[in-house]
Amino acid sequence: MIDNYQADKDRYNGKMKYRRAGKSGILLPEISLGLWHNFGEYDDFTKSREILHAAFDKGITHFDLANNYGPPNGSAEETFGKIMKQSFSSYRDELFISTKAGHEMWAGPYGEWGSRKNLINSLNASLKRMNLDYVDIFYSHRYDPLTPLEETLQTLVDIVKQGKALYVGISKYPYEAAQFAYDYLEERDVHCLLYQGRYNLLNREPEKEKILEQAREKGTGFIAFSPLAQGLLTDKYIHGKVSENSRMAQGKFLKKEQLTEDILTKIRKLTEIAAERNQSLAEMALAWLLKDDSVCSVIIGAGSVEQLNKNLPALNNTAFSKDELKSIEDIL
């Protein structure tokens, strides 16, 4: 079934800004759309399709997926695959689509981690679910401390050589493993395009562990996920209350114990600075990540077109004064 979707003809006329991914020919939208939540089997398909249409109409060309996104596992890719076939098939060359493997996907000893069997089988299944011949980038979703790293990385090399992915990346790798990965891949003429890591105002590990600096030195782009700390860096919890339908109420990834008085105080003070910049806290949190070229894109989630549109104005003001940056650092 092909729907009657026609992309906005003005989607590239200044609505979105793009940044180069490390030392490569790839430009990514400063804001990418992640399908971790809100696009699974239990979510409204029509709403999911509306969000993806709206994102592309705004110039968002990068959709970030993984084999286990849903819930349940695989269902986000299935949703995307239906929309790919119905709406985006004629726009395939304009889209930059990612998927990943490494977290638990199916039962048994081969359903997770970084073995050749897991990565190859997982990618083959992902391509079928998404109605694609190839993905633009395939990630090793997490470092496997037990599988020889050479096995994982050689599989990434082979996946590129087979044409199943145009580029490869790594996600959440510790510094030493990332260093080995960059060098191993480069020596085999497969550049590591992207490092995907958790990074936001409340989580500064990529700075502290020098992951940002390392990626820059290796010519690899850094792309940030969880830029709003799963909702903490929005107005959702500023009053210290947890609504029944919030992610925190579900307690799976964001737990009520994380909403401490210390965090609430920081959120409220950051909100004051954001207001002085004529931004919401969420807008400022995204702008802060994009304040320099250390980050080539941030991956946001969206449960509605309205939520998506609320985040995009962050791109209008990503400059910070020295006083603003000092005030933010003092709070954190």
Note whether residue 270 is domain-resident: no
pLDDT at 128: 98
198 is a domain residue: yes
Q: How far apart are CA 214 and CA 228, in angstroms?
A: 23
167 part of a folded domain: yes
CATH number at residue 118: 3.20.20.100
Statement: the pTM of the whole predicted model exceeds 0.85: yes
Residue 277 lies in a domain: no
List per-residue pLDDT tens for the chain, 332 residues long: 667 899 999 999 988 999 999 999 999 999 999 999 999 999 999 999 999 999 999 999 999 999 999 999 999 999 999 999 999 999 999 999 999 999 999 999 999 999 999 999 999 999 999 999 999 999 999 999 999 999 999 999 999 999 999 999 999 999 999 999 999 999 999 999 999 999 999 999 999 999 999 999 999 999 999 999 999 999 888 765 555 565 554 555 555 677 789 999 999 999 999 999 999 999 999 999 999 999 999 999 999 999 999 999 999 999 999 999 999 999 99
Distance CA 197, CA 261 (A): 27
In-domain check, residue 251 = no
Residue 171 corresponds to which amino acid? S
Is 127 inside any structural domain? yes
- What is the pLDDT at residue 255? 56
Q: Is residue 263 part of a domain?
A: no
CA dihedral 175, 322, 221, 196 (to 10 degrees): 60
Domain boundaries, position 101: 18-231+283-316
200 occurs within a structural domain: yes
Domain count, the chain: 1
